[in-house]
Amino acid sequence: MTIVSRRAFIKAAGAAAATLKTSTAPAASLPRDAKAAAAGAGHGFFTAAEASTVAAMVERLIPTDDTGPGAREAGVAAFIDVQLAGPWGAGERLYRAGPWHAGTSTQGYQLAFTPADLFRHALRAIDDDLARTRNTTFARLSPGDQDAYLQTLEKGGQDLGGVPGNVFFESLLEMTLEGFFSDPVYGGNVGKVGWKLVGFPGAYANYYELVDQHGIAFDAPPVSLAEDAHGTVHAHPFIPARVDPKRS
């Protein structure tokens, strides 16, 4: 994890990710406990210890600073919790019949773990490692030590209960970006803080009134896919989340 300013990180990785939407279920189509997690009322997947670790990790990946709110304000940890509690976390769209052999760098994900299993094994291994070697938890480390630990994971070579450290880091980073920049309908990007940071307009139905206007700044507030006239975002049950057995 190269040390760069938050602004440089956002500009390099975030602007492109602003149009991402995860292939997982929105809160409206998830179990009640997952809905509660999205609302900050509990955890649909994480234990309390896991939630604390993930919250601390994502805050280091996108920290709050003088450029604006970070992963904490955007509800990224709760977003990841909701996704892992749903069909995506269960690997609903993953090929899982094996064989499971180490792949090449061009072959993509080659592990037998579902996303939920991957996070559970990795987080348990991290917790055990820090308890054994430092008698602490990730959340209690200093920000500098947290960064150093994440850098160690990114470099690879560390086994986390069968999950390569770099694979976990890449998964965590990808989910952090999605939670910060995807449409709020998926449970993250609370208050559209990610979109506001990079000036992304969101999902306007049309720009008809602006077609013949040139050289002016577009400064309207961003709009969600499922936003009503009062600015409230409503998760919609028909947003693709589950595989339709009739089409599989």
* Single pTM value for the model: 0.78
Q: Which residues pair with 163 in a beta bridge?
A: 160
Q: What is the pLDDT of residues 17-42, one digit of tens each?
A: 544 443 344 333 333 343 444 444 45
Which range is least confidently modeled, 71-75, 164-168, 178-182, 226-230? Answer: 226-230
Please name the residue ranges forming H helices in 140-242.
Answer: 143-155, 165-181, 193-198
Query: Nearest 5°: CA angle at 138, between 24 and 144?
Result: 110
Averaged confidence pLDDT in the chain? 81
Task: Return the residue matching tokens 């057995």.
Answer: 245
* Surface-to-core class of residue 172, CB atoms within 10 Å of its CB (0-12 exposed, 13-18 middle, 19+ buried): buried
Region 126-137: mean pLDDT is 97
> What whole-number distance in Å separates Cα of residue 79 and Cα of residue 74?
9
Averaged pLDDT for residues 100-121: 86
pLDDT digits (tens, 9 = 90+) for 210-236: 888 888 887 888 988 877 777 777 765
Residue 96 contacts residue 112 (beta carbons within 8 Å): yes
Please tell me the predicted confidence (pLDDT) of residue 7: 52
Give the Cα separation of 95 and 176 in Å (integer): 24
Contact 73, 193 (CB under 8 A): yes
Paired strand residues for 65: 68
Structure confidence by residue, pLDDT tens digits, 58-110: 999 999 998 899 999 999 999 999 999 988 898 888 888 877 787 777 877 88
Residue 104 or 246, more confident: 104
Enter the tokens of residue 153: 């994971």
- Looking up tokens 């996704």 gives 83
Which helix (H) or strand (E) element contains residue 7?
helix 6-9
Rounded to an integer, the average pLDDT of 111-118 is 93
